Amino acid sequence: MRLCYTPTMRKLAREFYDRDTQVVARELLGKLLVHGDRVGRIVETEAYLGPHDLAAHSARGLTKRNAPMFGPPGFAYVYMIYGMYFCMNVVTEREGHASAVLLRALEPIGEIDGKTNGPGLLCNAMGIDRQLNGHDLLSEDFFIAEGAASGDAAYKIVKRPRIGVDYAKHWARRHLRFYIADNQFVSRR
């Protein structure tokens, strides 16, 4: 698989992910998700805070599916939803904290085949499936990087309730969804 790793693309370190999940969710905006030669700029995320967060998969304890959430930060948690899509998370905070950030939308960079304005669509377009569940995001073929050397461009971050978690009682109302304002690739606009 051809790699897309240039000097202007600095891979995020383990320490980036080993921080407060809401901070990671906000700071992932504008970063580049890289899988082989496919690259997309993250424009929408959601924070899932741990077992106390009733919307998180870790809310009912450790299971075979959610095991990566309980592992160390900087690994991928990929799962199938509705029998036809995959969703990708990055694990955050210390091992055992069981928190993660869901990647909800990307802005395509270069040649990407398919839509990227939703968690299932972006996994399709980036070629992300169950084989990448538990994959280290400090690896050579699948990682997240800073953008161009110019650094973060100025943009406004919008905070809203998470999508599709109405079952989570008061947790459904918390503003744990983050996206870049006015970006055309954000889902459900």
Phi and psi at 35, nearest 5°, equal: -135, 105
In the complex, minimum distance from the CB of residue 73 to DNA, in angstroms, rounded to a whole number: 14
Kindly tell me which of 62 and 149 has the beta carbon lying closer to DNA.
62
Name the helix (H) or strand (E) containing 102: strand 99-109
Kindly tell me which of 82 and 156 has the beta carbon lying closer to DNA.
82
Determine the 3-state secondary structure of 167 from DSSP: helix
- Per the structure block, which two tokens stand in for 78? 């990929």
In the complex, minimum distance from the CB of residue 79 to DNA, in angstroms, rounded to a whole number: 7
Please name the residues in contact with 158: beta carbons below 8 A apart, sequence gap of 6 or more: 178, 179, 180, 181
Kindly tell me which of 4 and 71 has the beta carbon lying closer to DNA.
71
In the complex, minimum distance from the CB of residue 103 to DNA, in angstroms, rounded to a whole number: 9
Kindly tell me which of 32 and 55 has the beta carbon lying closer to DNA.
55
For DNA, the binding residues (CB under 7 A) are: 46, 48, 55-58, 60-61, 63-66, 69, 77, 79-85, 87, 89, 100, 102, 115, 118-122, 162-165, 167, 187
Please name the residues in contact with 25: beta carbons below 8 A apart, sequence gap of 6 or more: 45, 46, 47, 101, 176, 178
How many CB atoms are closer than 10 A to CB 181?
A: 10
In the complex, minimum distance from the CB of residue 22 to DNA, in angstroms, rounded to a whole number: 14
